[in-house]
Amino acid sequence: MSDPLLETLSVALGSRSYDIVIGTHLFAQLGARLQPLLPGKQVAIVSNTTVAPLYLETVAASLRQHGFVTLPILLPDGEAHKNWENLQKIFDALIQHRFERSSTLLALGGGVVGDMTGFAAATFLRGVSFVQVPTTLLAQVDASIGGKTGINHPLGKNLLGAFYQPRQVIIDVDTLATLPARERLAGMAEVIKYGILWDAAFFERLEQDLEGVLRLEQHLLIATIRACCAIKATIVAQDERETATGQRALLNLGHTFGHAIETLTGYGHLLHGEAVAIGMVMAADLSQAMGLCSATEARRIAQLIARCGLPVRAPWFPVEQYLEAMARDKKVLGGAVRLVLVDHIGQASIQSTVPMELIREMIGRNMSPPP
């Protein structure tokens, strides 16, 4: 009998197209799913010291049952470890265990593990197969899809990397039950982002179903993750490499302000999704000031974010410090700050001529009072 909770969709990239499979109890079927897809029998399962004790043995057992030879590679947990040193550890293990061109790297974890494993797969022996098995909400709706891989440099996040697509993305929503609540909510910011920038009907469904999604009700959760994956798949198929005129940059809604908040507060103080949540409220407010979205729409965006328990007010810092941090953002092009603003719920656009005075006023309106 077919599984009523199973969803499959495709990222259409010609010969590099791949499926995203979403469902429950998927880890036990992993070996059977991957058997027809992978070129060889060696699979390195890259995970971290938090996720591996929860899921690695189930994944490895399923692969072994189908004739794969598995090699666990465990990294330390955390964004601070997304660096050359740990990338090198992956390469060391692969070389010591004589991995070949036909071998596969499987990423079992959140976005940190996924980005690092993908980059290792892109570069080891000039490219080997790669499978994403994301275990955070953020990685399930965003990081595991679309082929952005990489590591951090001491001078900035994600500065070294490659576009390299996986062979399949396997999303078992059961993993969200062990994810800390704060991490789940941070992932919700990215979920809401898709509604704001692409799909008004999805945004309305979230307004209706939010509490059920937050309670991890399976049907709602799978439908929600599926909707996000479908939007990201559509955008990536149209603009895989985030060209200057393409639509992938819209996925950065809330990120310019969010990155400024992360820089000012120091990394690790707020989760990335929490900073993006505040950034989206700021972007909606600025959009209203620019005569784009209505006051009602800006209020609906802030309300939905607040209902998740996510922060909506920016921490207090002098406005000049916000502007300096924004000017250093990766999205600055030729000196002009490019902002993703909200035309209306369901549609966003890139704006590079926003008057500085409006940005200053918006930051002032959205900041917490000074301590």
Q: Kindly list the catalytic residues.
A: 126, 148, 190, 232, 242, 248, 252, 255, 259, 272
Residue 111 makes contact with ligand NAD by CB under 6 A: yes
Q: How many CA atoms lie within 13 A of 62 on its CB side?
A: 17
For position 307 contacting ligand GLY by CB under 6 A, the verdict is no
Q: Rule CB under 6 A: choose which of 112, 170, 189, 251 binds ligand GLY.
A: 251
Residues 6+ apart with CB under 8 A from 355: none
Rounded distance between C-alpha atoms, residue 284 and residue 293, angstroms: 7
Residue 53 within binding range of ligand NAD, rule CB under 6 A: no
Select from 6, 33, 35, 77 the one that contacts ligand NAD (CB under 6 A). 77
Q: Which does 175 bind (CB under 5 to 8 A by kind): ligand GLY, ligand NAD, none?
A: ligand NAD
Q: Identify what 174 binds: ligand NAD, ligand GLY, none; CB under 5 to 8 Å per kind.
A: none
Residue number of the CB atom closest to ligand NAD: 111
Residue 51 lies near ligand NAD (rule: CB under 6 A): yes
How far is it, in rounded angstroms, from Cα 316 to Cα 264? 10
Residue 42 touches which of ligand GLY, ligand NAD, none (Cβ within 5-8 Å per kind) = none
225 binds, among ligand NAD, ligand GLY, none (CB under 5 to 8 A by kind): none
Candidates 50, 83, 123, 265; binder of ligand NAD (CB under 6 A) is 50
Q: How many residues bind ligand GLY (CB under 6 A)?
A: 6
Q: Is 142 in the site for ligand NAD (CB under 6 A)?
A: yes
What span, in angstroms and rounded, lies between the C-alpha atoms of 27 and 40? 20
Residue choice 148, 184, 272, 331 for contact with ligand GLY (CB under 6 A): 148
202 closest CA partner among 182, 220, 184: 220
Q: What is the rounded distance in angstroms from the CA atom of residue 170 to the CA atom of residue 39?
A: 18
> Phi, psi (5° rounding) for residue 130?
-150, 135
Partner whose binding site includes residue 248, from ligand GLY, ligand NAD, none (CB under 5 to 8 Å by kind):
ligand GLY
User: Taking CB under 6 A as the rule, does residue 233 contact ligand NAD?
Assistant: no
CA–CA separation, 39 and 166 (whole Å): 13
Instruction: Based on the shown chain and the rule CB under 6 A, indicate whether residue 175 belongs to the binding site for ligand NAD.
Output: yes
**Partner that binds at residue 251, options ligand NAD, ligand GLY, none, CB closer than 5 to 8 Å by kind:** ligand GLY
> Which stretch in 9-17, 18-26, 107-115, 305-313 sits in contact with ligand NAD by CB under 6 A?
107-115
Contact between 82 and ligand NAD per CB under 6 A: yes
Measured from the CB atom, the residue of 19 and 77 that comes closer to ligand NAD is 77
Select the residue interacting with ligand NAD from 24, 160, 183, 313 (CB under 6 A).
183
Of 37-45, 142-150, 159-167, 283-291, the window that binds ligand GLY (rule: CB under 6 A) is 142-150
**Residues of this chain that bind ligand GLY (CB under 6 A):** 142, 146, 148, 242, 248, 251
**Residues of this chain that bind ligand NAD (CB under 6 A):** 48, 50-51, 54, 77, 79, 82, 109-113, 115, 135-136, 138-139, 142-143, 146, 148, 158, 175, 178-179, 183, 272
